[in-house]
């Protein structure tokens, strides 16, 4: 049961209770911040807790920013506005006056320097109506900073970083860090159109739109700004040339040399990179196995088994049902598999650093893919093609073609569609020897010659 910042009284009612952050000690004048949530329901208590906690996090964010007028405004506005809304829900229909309307601001404010501060009085007036004066409205970047503080334990770091990038691009397009309600639907559409005109894909432009739409939604529902959400009706309309899907191309020999050099373990093993061993091994195994990154990166050691003296990799889960298959392991890289299993120790995972990553296994795999993208960022652009770790599947297929592997066998080995878990290598099927004669020779292909010496060096 989720009880973070929650405490149940003997009466059964829930309390919000958290230790007062150091920056807010003067404001709350207590070791703990505590509110009665007026509910016996745990589910309802969680909803109310989350709202209060988000407001306190914003107060903390503004307290850390300093004593600017905007920071002081929201320092007072946020809790006052919350109290106003709560009291409105408790007010009886025949009550003529809201209890806060007859309160004296100068009595409520404890800091003597703030009792007569116009900013504090503006915060009080805004809390009564929910209308924030323009001079205290946060700009787009300021909203993004507030959202980032709120989202730190709700979104992963990559998501938060992406939103900041998109906000910076929007501000650059507008030419100024505008107030959010000054951004019209027309300007939002022009921004999306400009992204597409710059050559960004429709998918990328859609990411921009969705995250900016989320920022505006968050701001409006928390009364951080006014107006509407200009991103709701924007359209991402890439031209036909942009809408064509790109295929992964093979790397050139020069590009492969660069990849091998940049993925040496010693070069990857830094204080800021958490998956040096996994990336070092993956970039050397994938060209010889032809599997997808996720299939190998999330594999367990038990998925590598010996069949009639041959090492095979059982792919038990994948993008499709057909992805469940058996992948023969080329003898040239079998030592890398054994090294990885040895390195895993008592862990059931081939790459424990990925499987147990704090950010989650899928995010760790994405991080490796992103790191690889940075390594290959300067590679030549070929219209209709792109590069990535998935390019190694193309190398595998090309290698089979170069050593004269018949198309029907190559489709089995490269596509892994008919080499099922219950067929072929587990049986005495006559094709078994035919399959292995090509797997055992794949290192002879021209497209693999740059890779082979480095793979062998790794063994040494």
Alpha-carbon distance of 116 to 109, in angstroms, equals 9
Residue-wise pLDDT tens digits, 168-215:
999 888 877 888 988 999 999 999 999 988 888 888 999 999 999 999
Please report whether residue 200 resides in a domain: yes
320: tokens are 């499709």
What pLDDT was estimated at residue 456? 65
Alpha-carbon distance of 274 to 358, in angstroms, equals 10
* pLDDT value at 142 more than 90: no
What pLDDT was estimated at residue 73? 79
**Total domain count for the chain?**
3
Given 81, 109, 135, which residue is the final one in a domain? 135
Same domain, 192 and 270: no
What pLDDT was estimated at residue 62? 61
Residue-wise pLDDT tens digits, 224-279:
888 899 999 899 987 655 445 568 899 999 999 999 999 999 999 988 888 999 99
The residue written with tokens 């790794």 in the block is 458
Please report whether residue 438 resides in a domain: yes
Same domain, 152 and 117: no
* pLDDT value at 431 more than 50: no
What pLDDT was estimated at residue 158? 86
Given 184, 213, 243, which residue is the final one in a domain? 243
Residue-wise pLDDT tens digits, 328-349:
898 989 999 999 999 999 999 9
Alpha-carbon distance of 397 to 286, in angstroms, equals 12
Instruction: With residue 36 as reference, give the H or E element that holds it.
Output: strand 32-36
Q: What is the DSSP string of 245-277?
A: PPEEPPPPHHHHHHHHHHT-HHHH--TT-S-HH
* pLDDT value at 350 more than 90: yes
Same domain, 34 and 12: yes
Are 418 and 412 a contacting pair, CB within 8 Å?
yes
| H-type alpha helices, 152-233 | 157-174, 185-197, 202-221
Same domain, 153 and 216: yes
Q: Average of pLDDT values for 54-73? A: 67
Domain that holds residue 177: 140-243
Higher pLDDT, 102 or 37: 37
Same domain, 152 and 252: no
What pLDDT was estimated at residue 191? 92
Same domain, 30 and 58: yes
Same domain, 116 and 263: no
Q: Which of 112-116, 244-248, 450-454 has the lowest mean pLDDT?
A: 244-248
Given 217, 243, 269, which residue is the final one in a domain? 243
CATH, residue 424: 1.10.443.10
Please report whether residue 1 resides in a domain: no
Same domain, 308 and 447: yes
Number of C-beta neighbours around residue 197 at 10 A: 11
Residue-wise pLDDT tens digits, 354-413:
999 888 888 889 889 989 999 998 898 888 788 999 999 888 989 888 998 888 777 777
Same domain, 201 and 268: no
């Amino acid at each position: 049961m989720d009880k973070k910042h929650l405490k149940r009284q003997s009466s059964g009612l829930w309390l919000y209770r958290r230790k007062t952050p150091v920056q807010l000690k003067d404001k709350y004048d207590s070791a703990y911040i505590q509110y009665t949530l007026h509910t016996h329901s745990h589910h309802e208590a969680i909803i109310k807790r989350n709202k209060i906690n988000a407001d306190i996090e914003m107060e903390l964010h503004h307290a850390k920013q300093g004593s600017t007028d905007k920071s002081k405004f929201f320092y007072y506005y946020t809790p006052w506005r919350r109290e106003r809304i709560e009291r409105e829900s408790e007010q009886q229909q025949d009550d003529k006056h809201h209890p806060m309307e007859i309160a004296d601001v100068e009595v409520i404010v404890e800091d003597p320097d703030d009792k007569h501060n116009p900013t504090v009085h503006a915060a009080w007036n805004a809390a009564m109506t929910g209308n924030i004066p323009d001079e205290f409205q946060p700009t787009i970047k300021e909203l993004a900073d507030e959202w980032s503080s709120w989202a730190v334990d709700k979104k992963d770091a990559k998501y938060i970083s992406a939103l900041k990038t998109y906000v910076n691009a929007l501000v650059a397009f507008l030419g100024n860090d505008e107030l959010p309600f000054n951004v019209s639907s027309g300007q939002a559409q022009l921004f999306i159109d400009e992204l597409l005109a710059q050559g960004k894909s429709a998918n990328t432009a859609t990411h921009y739109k969705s995250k900016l739409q989320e920022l505006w939604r968050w701001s409006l529902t928390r009364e951080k700004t006014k107006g509407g959400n200009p991103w709701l009706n924007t359209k991402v309309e890439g031209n036909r040339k942009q809408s064509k899907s790109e295929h992964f191309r093979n790397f050139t020999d020069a590009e492969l040399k660069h990849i091998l050099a940049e993925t040496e373990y010693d070069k990857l093993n830094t204080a800021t990179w958490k998956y040096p061993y996994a990336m070092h091994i993956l970039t050397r195994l994938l060209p010889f196995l032809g599997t997808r990154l996720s299939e190998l990166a999330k594999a367990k050691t038990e998925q590598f088994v010996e069949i009639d003296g041959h090492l095979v990799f059982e792919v038990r889960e994948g993008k499709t049902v057909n992805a469940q298959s058996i992948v023969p392991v080329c003898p040239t890289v079998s030592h890398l598999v054994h090294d990885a299993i040895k390195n895993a120790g008592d862990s059931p995972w081939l790459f424990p650093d990925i499987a147990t990553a704090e950010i989650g296994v899928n995010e760790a795999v994405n991080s490796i893919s992103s790191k690889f993208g940075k390594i290959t960022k300067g590679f030549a652009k070929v219209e209709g093609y792109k590069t990535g770790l998935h390019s190694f599947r193309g190398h595998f297929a090309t290698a089979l073609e170069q050593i004269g592997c018949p198309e029907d066998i190559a489709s089995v080995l490269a596509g892994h569609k008919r080499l099922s878990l219950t067929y072929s290598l587990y049986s005495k099927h006559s094709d078994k020897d035919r399959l292995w004669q090509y797997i055992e020779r794949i290192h002879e292909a021209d497209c693999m010659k740059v890779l082979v010496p480095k793979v062998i060096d790794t063994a040494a």
